[in-house]
Structure 1
């Protein structure tokens, strides 16, 4: 593991827009990473890129010093000037050997995430490995590391409560909505087409809700939204909201307006004579919904300020699970050391079979060639079987003995 290293840029040492410098567009990803691997003479390379982290996981026997880092970042982006390269060197987090393994375990287990316990990172790590492998950048060391990292993360999520108690505002809003026991046939009045609305619609459509009317300033953005989510909906301009006449059960709103979208006048107009209970999920800040309407109409408002308070409490609960999770990671790190040590032996002995076969081939074709010419067919057959038997034993016996020695040793 001494040749394993990680260069990490995360939310702990950089602003998100600064991390963006290290993101690569899909159309240049393979070429840029292949060039980086070749120019730096790396044995293996894996590139992990998410919204709040970029990490380079690589295998190299070179000394990872200032000179190496300068050449690394210059190769990563030849257009960077000296200031950007020096800034990258100053802000990078370096991990080597065992610390690299532990770091990646923590990342995939979401112990090092901006939002602790969010499970999406485990998928991002797995996909990052698969992509780097498809590009031909990885080898046996990173393959074993990535495979075991995913197993460790699953163990952390299974054996702890780190991912329980939602901390996403949208997730909390959806859970509160479900607690109201709304029917699958309920009609939704949606206002906005941003990220929060998109996430909310994904939750809803996944669980069988399908009746939507969407109002947004930009109809094209709303159309793109329903295409991305994969649902059907009536799309109208926000200026038509006050003319909405269809019955509805739930309002979900999230715009960037500085003023209330649902004023007394507009809400009274669209509600008409409908006295049925309504549920409002207001994810906007400032609020899209005039809260005083709750005193005048039969409705329940789930507001972002209340959701954020719950999210903060849940995040605190998740943080209390960190000690248990870190114990799991430490135990799995010990196990991985043993597995990696055995695999290192297998890699070292991987050339034994071909070496033995080369010796056998030379013995047949050169050393004992004349002697073999005098053998009859039956004798030659016996000799072939004898040699084949010795080949197998010379390959398997040393491997077995070496493994037994390793198992008896304590992993340091």
Structure 2
């Protein structure tokens, strides 16, 4: 942990940075007509093939684009472009949907002048509808990637569905005396209960790192970031996190054997956690971000499991929406988590206000607690006093608007 802390001290967040900040990456986003008026088709393009890694939804029902992207990465471990559409998930569309995803890849490859196996595809939107391939084809022909901040915003807009804001970030660090940049863009607002959810996240970096090492790092970091957020407990068919590393920073190749490997791991971790928290904050109908930190668990796995159970509880989420300091809902959710608990040793704190100490209720000011819970960010801390395990999870409150949004999702 100390090595990671020291690595984090070397990392700087770039205000206004984005997915095109790393050297050699370009993006574009256009309105292809899949939606009524908003941009709905985008691309990320690297000037040269980039080492790639990806993780996908664990849902047993996986959309066609995931299978095509898996095949693209498996070919050589290299990706040069990602073509993404919103409005239609191309999920549960059978053989036609798979052929459409392949055709989307071919259109992208032809337009960009690169081999088809260097193109990944992703889709998000309504399940069970076919892509309008004539509009996909014409939209791809309109894509003109560049590295401007406007192009980054165009891409970030094109991938959104019920999201209310764009989600992006950028960080830098020094490795081998070279400045390494990492940018990210994501979408996700509902059907968020990762392993993973209706979320897409794309990360670019100009670091030189091989695909196997990148995959190893991404898989581990996903468990501490994207897999620790929840909005509504529903997992989708299209989730994907994809990382591209094109090596333009010209550092020596990174792997776990590199003396500064942990600096890169921490860079990726901070990027993924930032995007994950932005997704949780923008949950459908949400008014606040909730962070739950569990300490004193038997191990980190139990801590993460307990934290996610609490932040995912509908009763906890509605209490947070109503600014009701009902800690009974917190301990009720904790009891359903399946982790080891000593019923005489639990501490619960909301913000800085102690609610429960060694399982004994503590006097507190309802007025002060209500005032704290009206903030845009709320933190709940639970100490189990069982060991050294610790973990965090992020979610949002559950408001009236969540029902309104999802009751008319298709219309």
Q: Indicate the TM-score class for this superposition, using the shorter chain for normalisation.
A: under 0.3
User: If each structure's helix is expressed as a fraction of its own residues, which one has the higher value?
Assistant: 1
Q: For the pair shown, which has the larger CA radius of gyration, 1 or 2? A: 1
- Give the alignment's TM-score, normalised by structure 1: 0.26
